[in-house]
Amino acid sequence: DRTTRHHIALIPGDGIGAEVLPPARQVLDAVGARHGIGFSYASYDWSCERYLREGAMMPDDGLDQLRDKDAILLGAVGYPGVPDHVSLWGLLIPIRRGFRQYVNLRPIRVFEGVESPLRAAAAGDVDFVVVRENVEGEYSEIGGRLNRGNPEEMAVQEAVFTRAGVTRVLDFAFELAARRGGTLTSATKSNGIVHTMPFWDELVAERAAAHPRVSWDQEHIDALAAKFVLDPARFDVVVASNLFGDILSDLAAAVAGSIGIAPAANLNPERAFPSMFEPVHGSAPDIAGRGIANPLGAIWSAAMMLDHLGHPEAAKDVTDAIAALLAKTDVRTADLGGGATTAEFTGTLLELL
């Protein structure tokens, strides 16, 4: 038996998360059968609905249950009535930090057959990757609030940038740019944020010297946001801190035409822990339960998982099928202007695959 086996943790989560993971699994099984890759799955009901029932998004030993898996595929979490910081700090952030998934990778492509809201974003021209630092930076627990309710009430939140943490994500980004044969753009704001961002810039220059074949530049985050809109085709690899990368990657997903297509990978590049793959979109309570969610974000995330697990040809089969579905058919879910259900859209993709 020459089949490679992978053990995958599935966390559907809430809302459409549970509607887009089964299509991703169908695609994995189909492409796996062709490439001699077998998958076994373990499903977890960790979600806001579990939080409402049991008072926690996941059990205390949640990370231990995931530790021996080869990868994690997550749908989305978020449920009306449960504050968003509960789902974020109760599930996503513990997994990202506990498994040292310090790279958040978001590819952006304008596919033929999908209309970008931007005139400047022609299909085929826009094809870049945002590399977001995923475990430190602005999203820190350090800080506090004083004098609640008084006129002198105050809040302080400290951003944390470490030499080790910034260096490792920059090295990942420079190596990715080298593999893609492209350039690297660093998002900064060292004119306004006078401690952490000059430190970030110094480390970028230091790592650039260690990767002399990669050309690079840097842009202040405000100007960079404008350029994402005015000239998205000029980018190849964009590296950014946790907050800047979060904002840039949602902006970029919108530039690409629909948030329903955008994928993300939370990577532990050393592979000491499982990495986690998830569509960029949330649980979409406005359309949940109707069977009309676009499954492509989850399916493309599964393709990123195949790539990470060492199967780039299988991953390319999936992204090629997505491109063919959008370019050669007019089957579309509602977010892309069509009337197809999730199942019909997935069925057409599976035929192309």
Q: Which residues bind ligand NAI (CB under 6 A)?
A: 16, 20, 76-78, 84, 87, 92, 259-260, 278, 281-287, 293-294, 297, 333, 335
Residue 90: contacted member of ligand NAI, Mg ion, none (CB under 5 to 8 Å, by partner type): none
Residue 259 contacts which entry, ligand NAI, Mg ion, none (Cβ below 5-8 A, type-dependent): ligand NAI
What's the CA gap between 15 and 282, in Å, rounded? 8
List the structure tokens of 122.
Answer: 């022609």
C-alpha neighbours within 13 Å on the C-beta side of residue 347 = 6
The closest of 119, 138, 135 to 172, measured between CA atoms, is 135
Q: Which of 71, 95, 75, 73 is nearest to 5 (CA)?
A: 71
What is the nearest approach in angstroms of Mg ion to the Cβ of residue 246?
4
Query: What residue 16 binds from ligand NAI, Mg ion, none (CB within 5 to 8 A, per partner kind)?
Result: ligand NAI
Question: Which residue type is seen at 150?
Answer: N
What is the rounded CA–CA span in Å between residue 169 and residue 218?
A: 16
What CA–CA distance (Å, rounded) separates 92 from 290?
25
246 contributes a contact to Mg ion by CB under 5 A: yes
Q: Which is nearer to ligand NAI, 196 or 258 (CB)?
A: 258
Name the residue type at position 258.
Answer: S
CB of 311 to Mg ion, least distance (A): 28
- Rounded to a whole number of angstroms, the minimum distance from the CB of residue 276 to ligand NAI is 10
Whether 183 contacts 215, CB under 8 Å: yes
Q: Which does 246 bind (CB under 5 to 8 A by kind): ligand NAI, Mg ion, none?
A: Mg ion
The CB-nearest residue to Mg ion is: 246
Site stretch for Mg ion (CB under 5 A), options 226-234, 238-246, 261-269, 305-313 = 238-246
Contact indicator for 277, 71 with CB cutoff of 8 Å: yes
Q: Are 123 and 271 in contact (CB under 8 A)?
A: no
The one segment of 122-130, 201-209, 246-254, 285-293 that binds Mg ion by CB under 5 A = 246-254
Under rule CB under 5 A, residue 133 binds Mg ion = no
Residues that bind Mg ion (CB under 5 A): 246, 250
